[in-house]
Amino acid sequence: MLQPSPALGSRTMPEDAAMSSANDPSSSSSSSSSARKDIVHVEVRLRPPHHHHSSYHSSDWQSHSVSQRVELFLRRNCVSVDCDARFEGKLWADCDPFLAERVESIRVAEAASGRLRVPIEECEFRVYEYETVNTVEELSAGDPEGQDEGQDLMAATVSELPSNSIDGTWETLIYGDDTKQRLLRYVQSTLLFSAMKVDFNVINWNRVVLLHGPPGTGKTSLCRALAHKLSIRMRHQFSHGKLVEINSHSLFSKWFSESGKLVQRLFALIDELVEDEKAFVVILIDEVESLTTARQAAASGTEPSDAVRVVNAVLTQLDRLKSRENVLIMTTSNISGSIDHAFIDRADIKQYIGLPPPAAIYWILRSCLDELMRAGVVAHEILYSWQTLDAGVGGGVDGQQLQQSDRDKRASWRLRALAESCQGLSARTLRKLPMLAYARYISASTSALPVGFDAFMDALQMSLADSLREAQHAAEGHAGTTAGSGPNGAGINGMMRS
């Protein structure tokens, strides 16, 4: 978030600013660190070209580059910048018509040091300009000789990057550690090694990432968001990007009898995309365990040998792509213990994506409430950060034992108590709670908007109880089905362990 001069106003609460300084000594002692610079990454989303109607000509573009004007704007108007904050054009509409016409939003993404707030005099800005597109195509891997006319299989989808539908996803994915930044640094490092012609036979890397963990934790969304962000950050090296999403289940559909050939045809189409060296191509294989477990099952005689050919064909194609400098392969799995060891060995990073911890749950719920307040569905209430509440004195999570000076944090404490009650739920489930709460407990009783904050929190708590109860019933039903699914009661779980 920007820390602007008084003329621009501020969206940061004073106590949050105070906490940032208290928790981050390096941000409050600029005099002692004036010589130090911190790289701050700034992503600038441009307006579509047809929005440009000013008197600026092409020569003006050369002398007034967007990146330079964005940095000039930040240095003139801000005393510090807060990371992971997005700002709309109205903030600079009056002071810089050039930016107002060409820039849709500015996001201060992150600082190399990991600090959340950086004094402006310590910033070394890296500005990335991008425009989003909406192009999505399908790759059909049907028989090119037409022997199976009308049987074309949609083997993959191809999205142009940066993608309008993916833009903003990165910021909504909240984890309890630096998972996102670690993945971003890894991929950028592999691309750097490739660009510098480092011999991958000496320094081994495959540019293969495996994200595994329980369903609903955002693995697929993280892959898409990472591909999108990389296409922005790597614009100096690649002019555009493509995200190829392969549904591994499709490789075992009606083409099963010739599925090995299907894989070859699919990757032949991908090869055509990769041939464009100015394109950064991300291949996403979702639920990769459906491929790799097939080879194990075939070896035990429970699957046809054609399944082995599918897996071997995929592994062979992945190995072929290793020499391509413009390719990244990302995979996801809900059942990591079932993945073939040959595939696991090829993954440079095997990152577990677990259920969100309480602090991440709080952030997710807070972002949902912020959006509902922005839209006018819920009455406005100030919600403080988890760190600010942690640093408070005399508070209680029930909001009843707060000192008088902390009474304004009551809503935040109540949200924190709810977040702590949500442990064990996935991010996907958490983001469904507000809609379920409104549909079940608000819409039937009133149509007046905005809904009071306390009333909506009551509805959220009841919706949470419903979700926990339904999850318990589902678990009990699954346990019963598993216990009676075979003569030895092995069922699905027993099969997965074998």
Domain residue ranges in the chain: 2-130, 136-352, 358-480
Which pLDDT score, from 0 to 100, does residue 496 have? 30
Which pLDDT score, from 0 to 100, does residue 54 have? 53
pLDDT at residue 254 above 80?
Answer: no
Residue 83 in tokens: 């990371």
pLDDT at residue 324 above 50?
Answer: yes
**Residue 498 binned pLDDT confidence (cut-offs 50, 70, 90):** very low
Task: Give 400-453 pLDDT, tens digit per residue.
Answer: 444 544 667 899 999 999 999 999 999 999 999 999 999 999 998 878 899 999
Which pLDDT score, from 0 to 100, does residue 419 have? 96
Mean pLDDT of 191-195: 85
pLDDT at residue 337 above 80?
Answer: no
Q: For the chain, count helices (H), then strands (E).
A: 17, 14
Which pLDDT score, from 0 to 100, does residue 303 have? 57
pLDDT at residue 294 above 70?
Answer: no
What are the beta bridge partners of residue 327?
281
* Burial category of 57 from C-beta neighbours within 10 Å (exposed 0-12, middle 13-18, buried 19 and up): exposed
Mean of pLDDT over the chain = 79
Which pLDDT score, from 0 to 100, does residue 206 have? 87
The tokens 């996803």 sit on which residue?
Answer: 169
Let me know: does 190 contact 327? Beta carbons within 8 Å. no
pLDDT at residue 355 above 70?
Answer: yes
Task: Give 373-410 pLDDT, tens digit per residue.
Answer: 999 999 999 999 888 888 764 444 444 444 544 667 89
Nearest to 124 by CA among 43, 37, 31, 29: 37
Task: Give 102-144 pLDDT, tens digit per residue.
Answer: 999 999 999 999 898 999 999 999 999 999 999 999 887 666 5
Reply yes or no: is the peptide bond before residue 450 cis, omega within 30 of 0.
yes
Q: What value does the CA radius of gyration of the chain take, rounded to a whole number of Å?
A: 26
Q: What is the torsion angle, in degrees rounded to the nearest 10, for the CA atoms of residue 116, residue 120, residue 121 and residue 127? A: 90
Tally the C-alpha atoms within 13 A of residue 105's C-alpha that lie toward its C-beta.
Answer: 14
Give 9-35 as a DSSP string.
---S-HHHHHHHHHH-GGGT-GGGGTT
Residue 288 identity (one-letter amino acid): V
CATH number, domain 136-352: 3.40.50.300
Let me know: does 187 contact 318? Beta carbons within 8 Å. no
